[in-house]
Protein backbone atom coordinates (compact mmCIF):
# COMPACT_ATOMS: atom_id res chain seq x y z
CA UNK A 1 0.00 0.00 0.00
CA UNK A 2 1.49 3.28 -1.03
CA UNK A 3 0.49 6.57 0.46
CA UNK A 4 -0.30 9.48 -1.80
CA UNK A 5 1.95 12.52 -1.46
CA UNK A 6 -0.80 14.56 0.06
CA UNK A 7 -0.47 18.31 -0.08
CA UNK A 8 -2.88 19.40 2.63
CA UNK A 9 -3.86 23.02 2.68
CA UNK A 10 -6.23 24.22 5.35
CA UNK A 11 -8.80 26.14 4.06
CA UNK A 12 -6.91 26.66 1.02
CA UNK A 13 -7.66 28.26 -2.17
CA UNK A 14 -9.37 26.54 -4.87
CA UNK A 15 -8.78 27.68 -8.26
CA UNK A 16 -9.57 30.89 -10.08
CA UNK A 17 -13.08 31.13 -11.41
CA UNK A 18 -13.72 30.50 -15.04
CA UNK A 19 -14.78 33.59 -16.90
CA UNK A 20 -18.44 33.70 -17.91
CA UNK A 21 -18.92 32.57 -21.53
CA UNK A 22 -19.97 36.00 -22.87
CA UNK A 23 -16.89 37.69 -21.42
CA UNK A 24 -14.66 34.87 -22.58
CA UNK A 25 -16.06 35.30 -26.11
CA UNK A 26 -15.41 39.06 -25.88
CA UNK A 27 -11.84 38.41 -24.81
CA UNK A 28 -11.34 35.95 -27.64
CA UNK A 29 -12.62 38.47 -30.22
CA UNK A 30 -10.47 41.26 -28.70
CA UNK A 31 -7.39 39.00 -28.80
CA UNK A 32 -8.11 38.03 -32.41
CA UNK A 33 -8.52 41.66 -33.54
CA UNK A 34 -5.40 42.69 -31.59
CA UNK A 35 -3.49 39.81 -33.16
CA UNK A 36 -4.55 40.73 -36.74
CA UNK A 37 -3.77 44.42 -36.16
CA UNK A 38 -0.45 43.51 -34.60
CA UNK A 39 0.53 41.31 -37.54
CA UNK A 40 -0.50 43.95 -40.09
CA UNK A 41 1.34 46.69 -38.20
CA UNK A 42 4.44 44.62 -37.74
CA UNK A 43 4.44 43.55 -41.40
CA UNK A 44 3.90 47.04 -42.83
CA UNK A 45 6.25 48.71 -40.34
CA UNK A 46 8.97 46.16 -40.96
CA UNK A 47 8.69 46.41 -44.76
CA UNK A 48 8.60 50.23 -44.66
CA UNK A 49 11.64 50.36 -42.34
CA UNK A 50 13.51 47.91 -44.58
CA UNK A 51 12.78 49.83 -47.80
CA UNK A 52 13.69 53.18 -46.23
CA UNK A 53 16.92 51.72 -44.84
CA UNK A 54 17.92 50.26 -48.25
CA UNK A 55 17.11 53.49 -50.08
CA UNK A 56 19.00 55.47 -47.44
CA UNK A 57 22.11 53.33 -47.90
CA UNK A 58 21.97 53.81 -51.68
CA UNK A 59 21.61 57.58 -51.30
CA UNK A 60 24.54 57.75 -48.88
CA UNK A 61 26.68 55.93 -51.47
CA UNK A 62 26.07 58.67 -54.05
CA UNK A 63 27.67 62.06 -54.29
CA UNK A 64 25.69 64.61 -52.24
CA UNK A 65 23.23 61.98 -51.11
CA UNK A 66 24.39 61.82 -47.50
CA UNK A 67 21.90 64.43 -46.28
CA UNK A 68 18.89 62.84 -47.98
CA UNK A 69 20.16 59.43 -46.92
CA UNK A 70 20.25 60.58 -43.31
CA UNK A 71 16.66 61.84 -43.60
CA UNK A 72 15.50 58.52 -44.98
CA UNK A 73 17.40 56.61 -42.31
CA UNK A 74 15.72 58.72 -39.61
CA UNK A 75 12.30 58.08 -41.24
CA UNK A 76 13.02 54.35 -41.27
CA UNK A 77 13.98 54.52 -37.60
CA UNK A 78 10.78 56.41 -36.71
CA UNK A 79 8.62 53.84 -38.56
CA UNK A 80 10.36 50.99 -36.75
CA UNK A 81 10.02 52.67 -33.33
CA UNK A 82 6.32 53.41 -33.98
CA UNK A 83 5.79 49.77 -34.88
CA UNK A 84 7.33 48.72 -31.56
CA UNK A 85 5.18 51.28 -29.68
CA UNK A 86 1.97 50.06 -31.36
CA UNK A 87 2.88 46.51 -30.43
CA UNK A 88 3.44 47.57 -26.81
CA UNK A 89 0.13 49.47 -26.76
CA UNK A 90 -1.74 46.44 -28.09
CA UNK A 91 -0.03 44.30 -25.44
CA UNK A 92 -1.14 46.67 -22.66
CA UNK A 93 -4.71 46.75 -24.02
CA UNK A 94 -4.85 42.96 -24.14
CA UNK A 95 -3.51 42.74 -20.56
CA UNK A 96 -6.11 45.24 -19.34
CA UNK A 97 -8.87 43.26 -21.07
CA UNK A 98 -7.69 40.01 -19.48
CA UNK A 99 -7.60 41.62 -16.03
CA UNK A 100 -11.10 43.00 -16.59
CA UNK A 101 -12.45 39.57 -17.45
CA UNK A 102 -10.70 37.94 -14.51
CA UNK A 103 -12.00 40.57 -12.09
CA UNK A 104 -15.47 40.24 -13.60
CA UNK A 105 -15.40 36.46 -13.13
CA UNK A 106 -14.69 36.86 -9.44
CA UNK A 107 -17.53 39.29 -8.95
CA UNK A 108 -20.24 37.59 -10.95
CA UNK A 109 -23.20 36.32 -9.00
CA UNK A 110 -25.76 34.16 -10.66
CA UNK A 111 -29.36 34.22 -9.57
CA UNK A 112 -30.88 30.79 -9.46
CA UNK A 113 -34.12 29.18 -8.45
CA UNK A 114 -34.13 26.81 -5.49
CA UNK A 115 -33.52 23.26 -6.65
CA UNK A 116 -36.56 21.12 -7.02
CA UNK A 117 -36.53 17.66 -8.54
CA UNK A 118 -38.55 17.51 -11.74
CA UNK A 119 -39.51 14.82 -14.20
CA UNK A 120 -36.47 15.78 -16.28
CA UNK A 121 -34.20 15.95 -13.24
CA UNK A 122 -35.36 13.43 -10.64
CA UNK A 123 -33.83 13.45 -7.15
CA UNK A 124 -32.18 10.12 -7.93
CA UNK A 125 -31.32 8.30 -11.12
CA UNK A 126 -29.55 5.11 -12.02
CA UNK A 127 -27.11 4.70 -14.90
CA UNK A 128 -26.96 1.34 -16.65
CA UNK A 129 -23.33 0.30 -17.08
CA UNK A 130 -24.20 -3.01 -18.77
CA UNK A 131 -23.90 -6.59 -17.52
CA UNK A 132 -26.35 -5.89 -14.70
CA UNK A 133 -24.06 -3.25 -13.17
CA UNK A 134 -25.54 0.17 -12.33
CA UNK A 135 -24.43 3.49 -10.84
CA UNK A 136 -26.73 5.49 -8.58
CA UNK A 137 -26.58 9.28 -8.78
CA UNK A 138 -28.32 11.90 -6.64
CA UNK A 139 -29.34 15.44 -7.53
CA UNK A 140 -27.27 18.12 -5.81
CA UNK A 141 -29.09 21.47 -5.60
CA UNK A 142 -27.40 24.79 -6.41
CA UNK A 143 -26.27 26.91 -3.46
CA UNK A 144 -23.30 28.52 -1.73
CA UNK A 145 -20.62 27.68 0.78
CA UNK A 146 -17.76 29.55 2.40
CA UNK A 147 -14.06 28.78 2.07
CA UNK A 148 -11.17 30.16 4.05
CA UNK A 149 -10.86 31.85 7.39
CA UNK A 150 -10.54 35.45 8.59
CA UNK A 151 -9.53 37.85 5.84
CA UNK A 152 -9.44 34.95 3.38
CA UNK A 153 -13.11 34.05 3.86
CA UNK A 154 -14.96 34.05 0.59
CA UNK A 155 -18.16 32.75 -0.83
CA UNK A 156 -18.31 30.05 -3.50
CA UNK A 157 -21.51 29.77 -5.51
CA UNK A 158 -22.58 26.62 -7.30
CA UNK A 159 -25.13 28.06 -9.70
CA UNK A 160 -26.42 24.91 -11.38
CA UNK A 161 -27.79 21.63 -10.04
CA UNK A 162 -25.78 18.53 -10.93
CA UNK A 163 -25.70 14.83 -10.16
CA UNK A 164 -23.11 13.18 -7.94
CA UNK A 165 -22.35 9.48 -7.55
CA UNK A 166 -23.74 8.13 -4.27
CA UNK A 167 -20.53 6.14 -3.86
CA UNK A 168 -17.00 6.12 -5.17
CA UNK A 169 -16.73 4.22 -8.49
CA UNK A 170 -16.50 0.55 -7.59
CA UNK A 171 -14.34 -2.13 -9.15
CA UNK A 172 -17.33 -3.87 -10.80
CA UNK A 173 -18.40 -0.52 -12.27
CA UNK A 174 -14.88 0.15 -13.56
CA UNK A 175 -14.68 -3.38 -14.99
CA UNK A 176 -18.06 -2.97 -16.74
CA UNK A 177 -16.92 0.18 -18.54
CA UNK A 178 -13.16 -0.31 -19.00
CA UNK A 179 -12.97 -4.14 -19.16
CA UNK A 180 -10.13 -4.17 -16.63
CA UNK A 181 -9.52 -3.72 -12.92
CA UNK A 182 -6.21 -2.17 -11.86
CA UNK A 183 -7.02 -2.17 -8.12
CA UNK A 184 -4.47 -3.15 -5.50
CA UNK A 185 -7.16 -4.08 -2.91
CA UNK A 186 -9.49 -6.40 -4.83
CA UNK A 187 -13.25 -6.56 -4.20
CA UNK A 188 -16.19 -6.09 -6.61
CA UNK A 189 -17.86 -3.47 -4.41
CA UNK A 190 -14.65 -1.92 -3.11
CA UNK A 191 -13.79 1.40 -4.73
CA UNK A 192 -11.56 1.05 -7.75
CA UNK A 193 -8.05 2.14 -6.75
CA UNK A 194 -4.74 2.53 -8.54
CA UNK A 195 -6.38 4.78 -11.15
CA UNK A 196 -4.80 7.96 -12.46
CA UNK A 197 -6.67 11.19 -13.21
CA UNK A 198 -6.27 10.27 -16.88
CA UNK A 199 -7.82 6.83 -16.25
CA UNK A 200 -10.73 8.40 -14.34
CA UNK A 201 -11.32 10.92 -17.11
CA UNK A 202 -11.27 8.13 -19.72
CA UNK A 203 -13.79 6.17 -17.64
CA UNK A 204 -16.12 9.20 -17.57
CA UNK A 205 -15.75 9.64 -21.32
CA UNK A 206 -16.59 6.00 -22.05
CA UNK A 207 -19.51 6.00 -19.60
CA UNK A 208 -20.84 9.18 -21.24
CA UNK A 209 -20.77 7.46 -24.63
CA UNK A 210 -22.45 4.40 -23.18
CA UNK A 211 -25.25 6.26 -21.37
CA UNK A 212 -25.61 9.28 -23.68
CA UNK A 213 -25.17 11.50 -20.63
CA UNK A 214 -22.42 13.96 -19.65
CA UNK A 215 -20.60 11.96 -17.00
CA UNK A 216 -17.46 13.72 -15.71
CA UNK A 217 -15.29 14.31 -12.68
CA UNK A 218 -16.68 16.91 -10.27
CA UNK A 219 -14.93 20.26 -9.97
CA UNK A 220 -13.16 20.72 -6.63
CA UNK A 221 -15.83 23.27 -5.69
CA UNK A 222 -18.69 20.90 -6.59
CA UNK A 223 -16.99 18.15 -4.60
CA UNK A 224 -16.61 20.34 -1.49
CA UNK A 225 -20.15 21.68 -1.81
CA UNK A 226 -21.57 18.14 -2.09
CA UNK A 227 -19.32 16.96 0.75
CA UNK A 228 -20.48 19.77 3.05
CA UNK A 229 -24.16 19.06 2.31
CA UNK A 230 -25.16 22.44 3.69
CA UNK A 231 -22.72 22.42 6.65
CA UNK A 232 -19.87 24.84 7.37
CA UNK A 233 -18.13 22.55 9.86
CA UNK A 234 -14.70 20.94 9.51
CA UNK A 235 -16.26 17.62 8.50
CA UNK A 236 -19.70 17.00 6.97
CA UNK A 237 -20.73 15.50 10.33
CA UNK A 238 -19.42 18.31 12.58
CA UNK A 239 -16.12 19.43 14.03
CA UNK A 240 -15.17 16.44 16.19
CA UNK A 241 -12.51 14.21 14.58
CA UNK A 242 -13.38 11.51 17.14
CA UNK A 243 -16.47 10.77 14.99
CA UNK A 244 -14.43 10.25 11.83
CA UNK A 245 -14.50 6.46 12.21
CA UNK A 246 -18.33 6.45 12.00
CA UNK A 247 -18.23 8.07 8.57
CA UNK A 248 -14.92 7.11 7.05
CA UNK A 249 -12.38 4.38 6.45
CA UNK A 250 -9.09 5.96 7.36
CA UNK A 251 -5.68 4.87 8.64
CA UNK A 252 -7.11 4.48 12.16
CA UNK A 253 -9.70 1.79 11.27
CA UNK A 254 -9.00 0.42 7.80
CA UNK A 255 -5.91 -1.77 8.23
CA UNK A 256 -4.64 0.35 5.30
CA UNK A 257 -6.84 -1.39 2.78
CA UNK A 258 -9.99 -0.16 1.03
CA UNK A 259 -13.41 -1.45 2.10
CA UNK A 260 -16.68 -2.03 0.21
CA UNK A 261 -18.42 1.28 -0.45
CA UNK A 262 -21.50 2.33 1.53
CA UNK A 263 -20.68 0.66 4.84
CA UNK A 264 -20.15 3.83 6.86
CA UNK A 265 -22.71 6.56 7.58
CA UNK A 266 -23.48 8.87 4.61
CA UNK A 267 -23.41 12.66 4.81
CA UNK A 268 -26.66 14.65 5.05
CA UNK A 269 -27.23 14.47 1.28
CA UNK A 270 -26.72 10.71 1.13
CA UNK A 271 -23.13 10.49 -0.17
CA UNK A 272 -21.11 7.58 1.19
CA UNK A 273 -17.35 7.50 1.82
CA UNK A 274 -17.06 11.18 0.89
CA UNK A 275 -14.54 11.19 3.75
CA UNK A 276 -11.99 8.40 3.48
CA UNK A 277 -11.69 5.04 1.67
CA UNK A 278 -10.05 6.28 -1.56
CA UNK A 279 -8.96 9.81 -2.44
CA UNK A 280 -11.27 11.27 -5.09
CA UNK A 281 -9.92 12.97 -8.21
CA UNK A 282 -11.46 16.32 -9.15
CA UNK A 283 -11.25 17.92 -12.56
CA UNK A 284 -9.23 20.96 -11.39
CA UNK A 285 -5.54 21.65 -11.64
CA UNK A 286 -4.15 22.40 -8.17
CA UNK A 287 -3.65 26.19 -7.93
CA UNK A 288 -3.85 29.38 -5.97
CA UNK A 289 -7.05 30.88 -4.60
CA UNK A 290 -8.45 34.02 -6.20
CA UNK A 291 -9.54 36.78 -3.83
CA UNK A 292 -13.22 37.45 -3.38
CA UNK A 293 -16.32 35.43 -4.21
CA UNK A 294 -16.45 33.05 -7.16
CA UNK A 295 -19.18 31.27 -9.11
CA UNK A 296 -18.71 27.77 -10.50
CA UNK A 297 -14.90 27.82 -10.31
CA UNK A 298 -13.25 25.02 -12.25
CA UNK A 299 -9.58 25.55 -11.52
CA UNK A 300 -6.60 27.22 -13.15
CA UNK A 301 -5.98 26.77 -16.88
CA UNK A 302 -2.75 24.85 -16.31
CA UNK A 303 -0.82 23.13 -13.56
CA UNK A 304 1.21 20.06 -12.65
CA UNK A 305 -1.03 18.40 -10.03
CA UNK A 306 -4.71 17.51 -10.20
CA UNK A 307 -6.83 18.01 -7.09
CA UNK A 308 -7.77 15.03 -4.92
CA UNK A 309 -10.12 15.26 -1.98
CA UNK A 310 -11.56 13.52 1.04
CA UNK A 311 -8.58 11.61 2.45
CA UNK A 312 -8.00 7.86 2.20
CA UNK A 313 -7.23 4.67 4.10
CA UNK A 314 -3.57 5.69 3.85
CA UNK A 315 -3.99 8.96 5.78
CA UNK A 316 -3.37 8.96 9.57
CA UNK A 317 -3.94 12.73 9.98
CA UNK A 318 -7.60 13.76 10.42
CA UNK A 319 -6.84 17.17 8.89
CA UNK A 320 -6.70 15.55 5.45
CA UNK A 321 -10.34 14.42 5.76
CA UNK A 322 -11.75 17.91 6.35
CA UNK A 323 -14.21 19.22 3.75
CA UNK A 324 -12.04 22.24 2.86
CA UNK A 325 -8.71 20.47 2.51
CA UNK A 326 -7.27 19.58 -0.85
CA UNK A 327 -4.54 17.17 -1.85
CA UNK A 328 -2.83 17.04 -5.21
CA UNK A 329 -1.09 14.49 -7.35
CA UNK A 330 0.28 14.10 -10.83
CA UNK A 331 -2.50 13.25 -13.32
CA UNK A 332 -0.70 10.05 -14.32
CA UNK A 333 -0.22 8.83 -10.75
CA UNK A 334 -1.67 5.36 -10.11
CA UNK A 335 -1.13 5.12 -6.37
CA UNK A 336 -3.13 2.56 -4.42
CA UNK A 337 -5.20 5.28 -2.71
CA UNK A 338 -6.27 7.01 -5.94
CA UNK A 339 -9.95 6.59 -6.77
CA UNK A 340 -12.79 8.80 -7.92
CA UNK A 341 -16.49 9.51 -7.90
CA UNK A 342 -18.48 10.60 -10.96
CA UNK A 343 -20.50 13.74 -11.36
CA UNK A 344 -23.02 14.26 -14.14
CA UNK A 345 -24.32 17.39 -15.83
CA UNK A 346 -28.12 17.56 -15.95
CA UNK A 347 -29.53 16.13 -19.17
Q: Is 193 in the site for Ca ion (CB under 5 A)?
A: no
Strands 294-295 and 154-158: parallel
Calculate Rg over the CA atoms of the chain.
Answer: 27
What minimum distance in Å lies between the beta carbon of 278 and Ca ion?
5
Counting runs of H as helices and runs of E as strands, what totals does the chain give? 6, 12
Closest approach, Cβ 172 to Ca ion, in A, equals 17
Interacting residue with Ca ion among 273, 284, 289, 318 (CB under 5 A): 273
Tell me whether residue 19 or residue 342 sits nearer to Ca ion (CB atom). 342
Measured between alpha carbons, how far is residue 340 from residues 190, 192, 284, 288 in Å? 12, 8, 13, 23
CA 257/CA 250 separation, integer angstroms: 9
Identify which range of 84-92, 226-234, 273-281, 284-292 contacts Ca ion by CB under 5 A.
Answer: 273-281
Q: Give the number of C-alpha atoms closer than 13 A to the C-alpha of residue 163, restricted to the C-beta side.
A: 25
Q: Least Å distance between CB 312 and Ca ion?
A: 7
* CB nearer to Ca ion: pick between 273 and 322: 273
Alpha carbons 148 and 233: distance in angstroms, whole number? 12
Piece in contact with Ca ion (CB under 5 A), picked from 87-95, 233-241, 281-289, 309-317: 309-317
Maximum CA extent, the chain: 98
Site mask, Ca ion, residues 277-306, x = CB under 5 A? Answer: x--x--------------------------
CB of 135 to Ca ion, least distance (A): 15
Residue closer to Ca ion, measured from CB, 129 or 192: 192
The answer to whether residue 236 forms part of the interface with Ca ion (CB under 5 A) is no
CB of 127 to Ca ion, least distance (A): 19
Cα separation, 68 vs 59, in Å, equals 7
Q: Which stretch binds Ca ion (CB under 5 A): 35-43, 62-70, 178-186, 266-274?
A: 266-274
Return d(Cα 307, Cα 93) in angstroms, integer: 33
Residue nearest to Ca ion according to CB distances in the complex: 310
The Cβ of residue 115 has, within 10 Å, a number of other Cβ atoms equal to 16
In this structure, the strands spanning 279-285 and 338-339 are parallel
Nearer to Ca ion, 193 or 280 (CB): 280
Comparison of 280 and 284: residue with beta carbon closer to Ca ion: 280
Q: Measured from the CB atom, is 290 or 314 closer to Ca ion?
A: 314
Residues 6+ apart with CB under 8 A from 79: 45, 48, 49, 52
Distance in Å, CB of 211 to Ca ion, minimum: 23
Decide: is 310 part of the binding site for Ca ion (CB under 5 A): yes
Q: Minimum distance between the CB of residue 236 and Ca ion, rounded to whole angstroms? A: 12
- Looking at the Cβ atoms of 52 and 271, the one nearer to Ca ion is 271
By 3-state DSSP, what share of the chain in percent is helix, strand and coil, each rounded to 5? Answer: 35, 15, 45
**CB-wise, 136 or 210, nearer to Ca ion?**
136
- Alpha carbon 206 to chain centroid distance? 20
**Residue ranges binding Ca ion (CB under 5 A):** 273, 277, 280, 310
Amino acid sequence: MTTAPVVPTRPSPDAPGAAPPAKTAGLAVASLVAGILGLCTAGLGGIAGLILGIVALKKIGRSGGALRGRGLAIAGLIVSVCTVLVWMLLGVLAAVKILEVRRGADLVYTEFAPAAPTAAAPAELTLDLGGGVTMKMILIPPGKFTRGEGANRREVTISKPFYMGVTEVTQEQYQAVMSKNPSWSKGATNPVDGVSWNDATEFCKKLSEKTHQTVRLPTAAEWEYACRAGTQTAFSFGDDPAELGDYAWWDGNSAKTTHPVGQKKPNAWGLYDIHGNVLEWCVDWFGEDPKGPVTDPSGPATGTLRVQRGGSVGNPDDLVFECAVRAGNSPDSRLSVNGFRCAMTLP
